[in-house]
Structure 1
Amino acid sequence: MNQPYGVILAGGLARRMGGGDKGLLPLGRGTILSHVIDRLEPQVAGLALNANGDPARLAGLGLPVVPDSIDGFAGPLAGVLAGLDWAAAQGGEYIVTAAADTPFFPCDLVPRLLAEGPGIVLAATPDGAHPTFGLWPVALRDDLRAALQDGLRKVVQWTDRHGARQALFDEGGTPFFNVNTPEDLARAEAMA
């Protein structure tokens, strides 16, 4: 299996944070998103950002910005599809996704997901799956597009259809802690 491409999922509405691009909020010496980029970029063949709206606001990141191709903010699966389409254009076989609001995910995310492949592999901790962190085969993009066009929105409903496995991250702590509220941002600042 070739090295996968990476896609950062930043296509949400950030309602609990008051809207806007929460990934661009300051955290430590950078932003939430800069922490995500720093962790994922060394692990992948190339990196893109799934985000909706005017891509010019993200030009300073130096990454290709790929919007959802399914209208109406269809959730993380729409971002996965956008990433699969982008990777297909690069000749990629797989993508690994990471959430733009999760700055402390494991630095060995990609090799651990690959170790459980081939096929769809979702990151998990003892408290459950973290489906915005996963390994996704480009070959399933047309199936995913059809499912989204039929109204499917729940990640696990689609991944279960395809025999998804899990990569367990059980070394303790909160490796997939995500920033959803101002209180979470204060906690992340303390963690940084």
Structure 2
Amino acid sequence: MSHAMQTHPAPTALNITGLILAGGRGTRMDGADKGLVLLGDKPMVAHVIARLAPQVSSLIINANRNQDSYAAFGHPVWADEQADFAGPLAGLQAGLQHCTSPYLVTAPCDSPYLPHDLVQHLAQALVSADTDLAVASTSEDHYQTIRPQPVFMLLKTGLLTNLNDYLQGGGRKMETWYRRLNYCETLFTDADAFRNINTREQLQQR
């Protein structure tokens, strides 16, 4: 598989922008904006910001509703270019369009326990495998089943053109898109760190 990108500096916290994906409908949360739902004494997105911000140079939030509420956290907020809540790839597209660093790392607004070493681990994998994109994965059943976590990825921002073409062609699936590229998946041993909160019941079980 040919490399899509030109030579890049090695990814570090100084040249990686973080993108928090908060553009969904919140269907399983009774239509609530999940990032703004309280977990403990603060909105769920605040937990994600607290974990991701120390790992990157700056943050962007992708949100299609309540943009003023998200902007109050002090980071730029951008909506999808695609209409009708087109999914996480549309949020990624918005993030890439407004990213000024050579790398972008993504995390969803409903995963408040994401690893403190998420970016470091993804960056090491991307460099070691010499790829343009690194995706987190977790193990189940004592490593018998490896599950990709595609909304947690580190990628070179030059992939925007490729993503634009995929979306314009009607593509919507995250895994279908990145598996066409020069990518790697890297294993995180703590699957619970990637647990997302989709329902009111899960919110109570936290």
Q: TM-score, normalised by structure 1?
A: 0.91
Q: Secondary structure at the match of 1:96?
A: strand
| Counterpart for residue 199 of structure 2 | 181
Q: What is the rounded CA distance, in whole Å, between the counterparts of 1:22 and 1:158 in structure 2?
A: 25
Confirm or deny: 8 A CA contact 2:139 2:191 kept in the other structure.
no
Q: Does 1:57 align with 2:74?
A: no
> CA RMSD, aligned part only?
1.3
- Aligned-pair identity in percent equals 41
Q: CA deviation digits over 1:111-149, x for unaligned, max 9?
A: 000001141111110140111100021111011011011
Query: For 1:183, what is the secondary structure of its paired residue?
Result: helix
Q: 4+ residue stretches of structure 1 with deviation over 2 A?
A: none
* Mapped partners of 1:28, 1:57: distance in 2: 18
Does 1:133 find its partner at 2:146?
A: no
Q: Which of 37, 40, 50 is the equivalent residue of 1:25?
A: 37
Q: 2:105 aligns with which of 89, 92, 96?
A: 96
Structure 1, gaps ≥5 residues long: none
* CA distance, structure 1, for counterparts of residue 70 and residue 125 of structure 2: 33
1:31, CA displacement in angstroms? 1.8
Instruction: Write the letter of the residue equivalent to 2:120.
Output: P
**Which string of whole-angstrom CA distances, capped at 9 and with x for unpartnered residues, describes residues 125-174 of structure 1?**
0140111100021111011011011110111111010032112101x451
The equivalent of 1:142 in structure 2 is: 161
Aligned residue pairs, count: 184
Q: 1:103 to 1:54 in 2, by over 3 A?
A: closer
1:165 matches 2:184: yes
2:138–2:191 CA contact under 8 A, matched in 1: no
Deviates more, 1:19-28 or 1:142-151: 19-28
Q: 1:120 aligns with which of 133, 149, 163?
A: 133
SS of 1:110 mapped into structure 2: helix
Unaligned runs of 5+ in 2: 1-9, 141-146
Deviates more, 1:51-60 or 1:155-164: 51-60
Contact 1:70-1:149 within 8 A present in 2 as well:
no
Q: What is the Cα deviation at residue 54 of structure 1?
A: 4.6
Q: How far, CA to CA, are the matches of 1:94 and 1:16 in structure 2?
A: 31
Match of 2:115 in 1: 106
Mapped to 1, the partners of 2:113 and 2:104 lie a distance apart of 20
1:29 deviates by 3.3
Q: Taking structure 2 as the reference length, what is the TM-score of the superposition?
A: 0.85
